[in-house]
Amino acid sequence: MAASAGLAAPAVSVAQTTTWRFQSAWPAKVIFQEFAVDTCRRIEQNTGGKLKIQMLASGAVVPPFQVPDAVSKGTLDGGHTLPVFGFGRNTAFGLFGAGPNFGMDSNQLLGWVEHGGGKQLYAELLAAAKLEVVSFLHGSVITEPFGWFRKEIKGPDDLKGLKYRTAGLAVDMMKELGAAPVQMAPTDTLPALERGVIDAAEYANPTDDRLVGFPDVAKNYYLQSYHMANTLFELLFNKAKFDALPAEMKEAVHTAVLASNSDIAWKSMDRMSTDLIDMQSKNGVKVHRTPASILAAQLDAWTRVIAHRSAENPLFAKIIDSQKAWAKKVVYWSEIMTVDAQAPYRKFLG
């Protein structure tokens, strides 16, 4: 990701300034909204101020889950959301940010998007869904926490009947574990946990979780999970409007999005690590590693989910095969080449 920050912005020659109205799926104060705004600011810089994007927060025009439809219809010029929110439209959307990803980390998943066929498969998926949009997948962040729990969990049996807020393919996985998953908009999650409508919830990351107020409602915070091993964002454009842009402006947008990968990764490192530590020291949050027995059960559940969904959806199966092929070589290469980071951390810092 580091290399993308140094990408040179293409020269853009456009006679007038274009201003577009976008909306995200995020509340105004969270870091995901910052990522969206930062990316749009970089687009404006790359285009020499010729393309300006106003990124509205969730609900300003449409509810968060309706952003893709609003962009497709032209109600919005564009938007910022998660592909996994399209799971109800086609289960294959869930593969772009949910699932175990076969050992890929966030950067390797982005590598699959850019160089392993993921971008082309996502375009195929959008066409099958009849969405008139152009999507830029970007900004994958570190593994999403398993989430906030009212009570401690020790093993898979503690998930039986648990009302757990999640989204996309993770709903299937949690059902396989005997939980009672609940899908709801991000903005509705904290109130539902506070009122006892749900027993536990995954939300986003330490920074957004803290900003929204989860430490005031639950104190057991479980980290590490295969429900959403990596999270991909997407920046959407109305297809007709994007196609009408000159070629150099399209390339300026693409370059800006690539550069945002580094921005998002580095900002995440700083902010999320700080907020995780502060939640423990200032908010009384008890941080747990998700028990190994639960992680193993999640992988077993994914085996069943993948088999079932692949059998009923050829495009789902095609994407799975592509991810596996990329992961088989890239994760192997990374594992055998990269020296253990935990040993020096423990020796000198831990």
Residue ranges for the known binding site for Na(+) are 203
**Binding site membership for substrate: which residues?**
144, 165, 202
What is the C-alpha separation between 268 and 210, in angstroms, rounded?
Answer: 14
Please provide the size of the chain in residues: 350
Determine phi and psi for 196, rounding to 5 degrees.
85, 10
Contact between 287 and 280 under an 8 Å Cβ cutoff? The reply is yes
What one-letter code names the amino acid at 194? E
What is the C-alpha separation between 285 and 288, in angstroms, rounded?
Answer: 10
**Binding site membership: which residues?**
144, 165, 202-203
Give the neighbor-by-neighbor strand order of the sheet with 78-81: 51-56, 18-24, 78-81, 231-238, 133-141
Determine phi and psi for 9, rounding to 5 degrees.
-75, 130
Longest pairwise C-alpha distance within the chain: 64
What is the C-alpha separation between 22 and 219, in angstroms, rounded?
Answer: 35
What one-letter code names the amino acid at 93? F
Quick one: tokens of 63?
């509810």
